[in-house]
Amino acid sequence: MKNNWLTFFMLLGISLTAHGQSHVYKLSDFVAGDSIVRLTGSSASLEVAIPLSSVAEIERAIVQLDVTSSQALLKDRSQLFVRFNNATIGQIAFDPTRPALTSEVMIPKSLWRKGFNTLSLSVSQHYANQCEDGGASELWSEINLYNSTLTVENTVNDNRFTLNELSGFFNPGIGGQRDVQLYTASEPNPSVIEHTLPLIAQALALRNQYQPLVVKHAVFADNGGLPTLEDDAQDTWSEETLNRYRRSAWYLDADSRDRVHVLVGTAQALTPVLTEDEKKQIDGPFLKAQRTPAFVIGDEVIVPASYRLIVSGTSDDQVQDAATILSVMDDAINVTSQVKIVSHTNTTASSLQRNRILMPDNHYTFEDMGVSSAVFRGKGSFNKRVSFRLPADFYVIENASVDLLLDFGYGASIGPGSVMNVTVNGEFVHGLALDNTHGQVFRNYKLRIPARTFKGGVNIIDLDVVLNAPLAGVPCSIVASNHLAFQLNNSSAIILPDAGHVSVQPDLSLFSQTAYPFARFASAPHTIVAVPSHAFFDSALTLIGKLAQVAQTPLLNIRVSVGTQVSEEGSTIVLGTPDSLSELEQTQFSTAIASTQKWSYRLQNTLYNHIRTMTNDKSFRGMEVDGYTVQESELGEQGILLAQAHPLSSEKDTLFILAAQTPDVLNERVKDLISLSLWGQLAGDFFAWKDNLAPTLAMQVSSKYEVGETEDRWLYLRLWFSNHPWYWLIGFIVAVLAISTVLYFLLKRRNKEIQKSW
């Protein structure tokens, strides 16, 4: 019996190996918003977009649905249709006697496509055979996306590993890589640590788009010893065996099968891991995608095959150049395994940041923004989302407005209740009844939207369209709705007002949305991630990768600094433990983390539970913290992220402190922090967490201050006066009093002179 069980597990293991990796995803991972979706009416549909990496080969995929339906639904006529890329793969009948059901549907391998795949869940719901009200409240069914799952087994395809495949490995879709190891020589040059590795971390994280990427730094041994072979006959290493071994990725300290790792360093530094031929190829900034062979002795795989990316050059500067190009290059056009960079331009930090955003005081068509035209047909609710980025420190005057010029039209014979609603960042800004039965076409349909509706960072304009069929006017007669049509053209445009570059700090919410102040618009001052020792380096790289994802551009202005000295200039993130942070000047802080902690407990302050969007904070209430407690304790398993004014900087910079009790705990907490679920919850200027679900505490504990671009002092002044109206008022009254007093004396003197003449 025991042997049977052993055999079973062995077979299972072999099976998994043969069929690649198996992953279970919740459908709610692919859908924004509520995890329970209710489909109402006689017909309704939910579309779930499932991304698939270009290097992934799906072996097996099963979708399991958790559905609850109304008991009023008519059996046989009420069904849930499961379609994948428009092909029907399952039909689930609703049974009024069994309102809750769980159903599994296999997704045929052949239906999967690289990129986005659409899983459609459509319902046809009826409570009667005739004379049915299509909008009756009993026509509903619910799909619990959190409980519904997609189980996928996938492998990496057998294509040649070229640079264009990088975007397949580092991809937000299924099959994408979620962690990466960066290998350097054991004692890399400081510039590699400071600049090159952060750049590579950003380059790969950017390819992952929104999916977190955990970055690890490892070193290969300069004189790597040979492994001990089990087969005594092969114990002696022949030349040929040694060459084969050297060609393999022998230095990998973890199983990196089907995954890409990165080798970073000059050709000289990479000598232990490259062959002479490979080294000769490196005569400038150099990028190479390479598939290393497995090192097999007999049946034993000593070193598995792997994918590696070489970022190299003949000098450290060239390695950094190669990393820079890796962070900006479009993989799709590099259908080759290696490139040598001859020269590059316009790869400065500020120009790259500027290229990712819409510039204020400009006119952009949707086409310019990469938004396609949309055509909606038939009855139902439709949405067209236009997403764009504004500078993180986007600051407009009170009455500035953004003009939205829409080009759209709808067809004839449209029914009552057909509307187009426009929302900006979830705020309703316009509604239009589509009520011309002859159809209508609009060109430059102008919506003047207050610019304060928009914010720094990602902005979303949603155009929600509801198309209804006309009423038949005869009972129990339904007019077909396939003639209904709505079209939104991408010639539609947005006109942005002039804006300044001012931000209120500290603000973790803005940090999470835009990576501000590490990513800016008008300039890219140097910023730093400071780590006390190499033990914190992985956390730093992972965090830098996340910042690049948030900024959607490589942050060339960011560098890693190792040591306990914190730079006096530039916004800084200091990683550390209470012990390492003891050397940091924190006396001015209302909350401090060191060997003794200074906590501003909520009940000690009037601000105890207030987190406000600082840029919209018009209350002008004092933001000073009244009280705090100094104590000796440990941080335990939690991570703490603090943001305060940089105490040493001559400019107004922000100092972030990211702390945990030990480097390992910090690494785990950073992984939690960059997760999709927790990163979006960053708020206030004090953030504590223990897992990736929710913060344990988020507060606002520091005085706010403004950070602005020095060249636009006028707008900066506006913000300052707006936050300190009393200064304006006092100045105003004093000036008026001075003028009045002088005028009074002059008037009185003239009056006396006139009276003298009497």
Residue with tokens 């690890």: 216
Respond yes or no on whether the N-terminal peptide bond of residue 285 is cis (omega within 30° of 0): no
Q: Which of these segments, 82-90, 410-418, 427-435, 593-601, binds another protein (CB under 8 A)?
A: 427-435
**26 burial via Cβ count (<10 Å: 0-12, 13-18, 19+):** middle
Q: Which of 191, 401, 487, 606 binds another protein (CB under 8 A)?
A: 401
The nearer residue to another protein, 5 or 714, going by C-beta atoms, is: 714
* 694 touches another protein by CB under 8 A: no
User: How many residues in total does the chain contain?
Assistant: 758
- C-beta of residue 585 within 8 angstroms of C-beta of residue 647: yes
Dist CA 195 CA 184 (whole Å): 13
Contacts to another protein from residues 123-162, by CB under 8 A: none
Of the CA atoms within 13 Å of residue 296, those in its CB half-sphere come to: 10
Q: Which of these segments, 73-81, 267-275, 393-401, 486-494, binds another protein (CB under 8 A)?
A: 393-401
* 758 touches another protein by CB under 8 A: yes
The nearer residue to another protein, 27 or 422, going by C-beta atoms, is: 422
The nearer residue to another protein, 344 or 363, going by C-beta atoms, is: 363
Q: Which of 438, 618, 752, 756 binds another protein (CB under 8 A)?
A: 618
In the complex, what is the shortest distance from the CB of residue 668 to another protein, in angstroms, rounded to a whole number? 43
Q: Which of these segments, 249-257, 302-310, 344-352, 734-742, binds another protein (CB under 8 A)?
A: 734-742
Contacts to another protein from residues 619-648, by CB under 8 A: 620
Dist CA 19 CA 41 (whole Å): 42
Long-range contacts of 273-277 (CB under 8 A, 24+ apart): 273/183, 273/220, 273/246, 273/249, 274/310, 275/243, 275/246, 275/247
Contacts to another protein from residues 467-486, by CB under 8 A: none
**632 burial via Cβ count (<10 Å: 0-12, 13-18, 19+):** exposed
3-state secondary structure of 158: coil
Q: Which of these segments, 298-306, 508-516, 658-666, 716-724, binds another protein (CB under 8 A)?
A: 716-724
* 742 touches another protein by CB under 8 A: yes
Dist CA 126 CA 662 (whole Å): 60
Dig out the tokens for 102 from the structure: 């769980």
Dist CA 615 CA 708 (whole Å): 13
* 740 touches another protein by CB under 8 A: yes
* 361 touches another protein by CB under 8 A: no
The contacts of residue 674 (CB under 8 Å, 6+ apart) are 212, 214, 542, 543, 545, 546
Contacts to another protein from residues 216-275, by CB under 8 A: none
Dist CA 432 CA 435 (whole Å): 9
Q: Which of these segments, 331-339, 352-360, 373-381, 394-402, binds another protein (CB under 8 A)?
A: 394-402
Dist CA 181 CA 216 (whole Å): 5
Q: Which of these segments, 36-44, 344-352, 486-494, 732-740, binds another protein (CB under 8 A)?
A: 732-740
The nearer residue to another protein, 260 or 406, going by C-beta atoms, is: 406
Q: Which of these segments, 253-261, 317-325, 327-335, 744-752, binds another protein (CB under 8 A)?
A: 744-752
Dig out the tokens for 417 from the structure: 């209740």
Residue 217 carries which side chain, given as an amino acid letter? H
* 8 touches another protein by CB under 8 A: no
**107 burial via Cβ count (<10 Å: 0-12, 13-18, 19+):** buried
In the complex, what is the shortest distance from the CB of residue 610 to another protein, in angstroms, rounded to a whole number? 18
In the complex, what is the shortest distance from the CB of residue 737 to another protein, in angstroms, rounded to a whole number? 7
In the complex, what is the shortest distance from the CB of residue 384 to another protein, in angstroms, rounded to a whole number? 20
Residue 333 carries which side chain, given as an amino acid letter? I
Distance of CA 242 to the CA centre of its chain: 44
In the complex, what is the shortest distance from the CB of residue 709 to another protein, in angstroms, rounded to a whole number? 15
Q: Per-residue x/- marks for another protein, 428-467, CB under 8 A?
A: -xxx--------------x-x-x-----------------
Neighbours of 119 (CB within 10 A): 23
Q: CA of 205: how far to CAs of 180, 212, 540, in Å?
A: 9, 7, 13
Q: Per-residue x/- marks for another protein, 655-684, CB under 8 A?
A: ------------------------------
Dist CA 83 CA 85 (whole Å): 6
Dist CA 296 CA 293 (whole Å): 9
In the complex, what is the shortest distance from the CB of residue 404 to another protein, in angstroms, rounded to a whole number? 12
Q: Which of these segments, 13-21, 246-254, 522-530, 722-730, binds another protein (CB under 8 A)?
A: 722-730
In the complex, what is the shortest distance from the CB of residue 548 to another protein, in angstroms, rounded to a whole number? 33
In the complex, what is the shortest distance from the CB of residue 406 to another protein, in angstroms, rounded to a whole number? 15
Q: Which of 553, 711, 715, 756 binds another protein (CB under 8 A)?
A: 715
The nearer residue to another protein, 12 or 743, going by C-beta atoms, is: 743
* 725 touches another protein by CB under 8 A: yes
Q: Which of 4, 346, 399, 477 binds another protein (CB under 8 A)?
A: 399
In the complex, what is the shortest distance from the CB of residue 424 to another protein, in angstroms, rounded to a whole number? 12
The nearer residue to another protein, 246 or 430, going by C-beta atoms, is: 430
SS3 readout for 433-453: ECCCCCCEEEEEEEEEEEHHH
Residues forming a β-bridge with 363? 495
* 718 touches another protein by CB under 8 A: yes
Long-range contacts of 246-250 (CB under 8 A, 24+ apart): 246/273, 246/275, 247/275, 247/292, 247/293, 247/295, 248/292, 248/293, 248/294, 248/295, 248/302, 248/303, 248/305, 248/306, 249/273, 249/292, 249/303, 249/306, 249/308, 250/224, 250/295, 250/303
* 4 touches another protein by CB under 8 A: no
User: 388: left (phi > 0), else alpha (psi -120 to 50), else beta?
Assistant: beta
The nearer residue to another protein, 118 or 751, going by C-beta atoms, is: 751
Q: Per-residue x/- marks for another protein, 402-421, CB under 8 A?
A: -x------------------
In the complex, what is the shortest distance from the CB of residue 715 to another protein, in angstroms, rounded to a whole number? 7
Q: Which of these segments, 65-73, 392-400, 506-514, 565-573, binds another protein (CB under 8 A)?
A: 392-400
Dist CA 77 CA 717 (whole Å): 67
* 754 touches another protein by CB under 8 A: yes
The nearer residue to another protein, 438 or 752, going by C-beta atoms, is: 752
Which of 338, 208, 355 is closest to 281 using CA atoms?
Answer: 338
- What is the helix, strand, coil percentage profile of the chain, to 5? 25, 35, 40
Size of the site for another protein (CB under 8 A): 46
Q: Which of these segments, 39-47, 75-83, 278-286, 736-744, binds another protein (CB under 8 A)?
A: 736-744
In 166-293, which residue ranges form alpha helices assigned H by DSSP? 166-169, 190-191, 197-207, 239-247, 276-281
Residues forming a β-bridge with 572? 528, 655
In the complex, what is the shortest distance from the CB of residue 617 to another protein, in angstroms, rounded to a whole number? 10
* 710 touches another protein by CB under 8 A: no
In the complex, what is the shortest distance from the CB of residue 423 to another protein, in angstroms, rounded to a whole number? 12
In the complex, what is the shortest distance from the CB of residue 421 to another protein, in angstroms, rounded to a whole number? 11
Q: Which residues bind another protein (CB under 8 A)?
A: 397-399, 401, 403, 429-431, 446, 448, 450, 618, 620, 714-715, 717-718, 721-723, 725, 728-729, 731-748, 750-751, 754, 757-758
